[in-house]
Amino acid sequence: MTVVTQESGHYLTINNTEQALKFLLREWPPGKSDRIHATAKKTLISTYHSQGSVDEARDAFLAAAVSAGIAIKD
């Protein structure tokens, strides 16, 4: 999936759980962390450690992005 970053007009392609987790931890928009974001972090960390499914991680990331108003190009 591709997300629109904080820098206007810039895109970032996320290809795996590690990249999605890095985006959640390092590039998430300030003031946009909520319960859905926290759940996504937990889900992605579990999946990164082979304790969750990739589909669940993807769904959690997408839900957090929608909640934060981050545009997604799938």
DSSP strand E in the chain: where?
2-4, 11-13, 72-73
pLDDT digits (tens, 9 = 90+) for 29-45: 889 999 999 999 999 99
Question: What's the pLDDT score for residue 40?
Answer: 97
Question: What's the pLDDT score for residue 47?
Answer: 95
Work out the widest C-alpha separation in the chain, in whole angstroms: 35
Structure tokens at 28: 């998430």
pLDDT digits (tens, 9 = 90+) for 51-74: 999 999 999 999 999 999 988 886
The residues near 17 (Cβ < 8 Å, ≥ 6 apart) are 44, 47, 48, 54, 57
